[in-house]
Amino acid sequence: MDSIFDKYTRLHKKDAQTLGTGLGLTIAKAVMEAQDGWIKAANHPDGGAVFTFCLPQWRSTPAVLSKEEAHAAFG
């Protein structure tokens, strides 16, 4: 199951065309790991997939930043 997070991996289905580039789950995993989190996939017993993810730290950003705050946060 972990290979579905590899670049360009796509599910080949007999009843439908294979669409997409196979980058979506790779990007999702990179975003989660950049936030010190994780994402996992598993088969659902009734068919389909279950994706579970965790973001361990919540960071709140004010809706409006001063020029100094924006510079400090984003360079």
What pLDDT score does 52 carry?
92
What is the CATH classification number for the domain harbouring 54? Answer: 3.30.565.10
* Buried b or exposed e, range 10-47, using 16+ CB within 10 angstroms: eeeeeeeeeeeeeeebbeebeebeeeeeebebeeeeee
| Total number of domains in the chain | 1
What is the per-residue pLDDT across 9-49, written as a single tens digit (0 to 9) for each? 666 555 555 566 778 888 999 988 888 899 999 999 998 88
What pLDDT score does 50 carry?
92
What pLDDT score does 11 carry?
61
What pLDDT score does 16 carry?
58
Residue predicted with more confidence, 6 or 2: 6
Domain that holds residue 42: 2-74
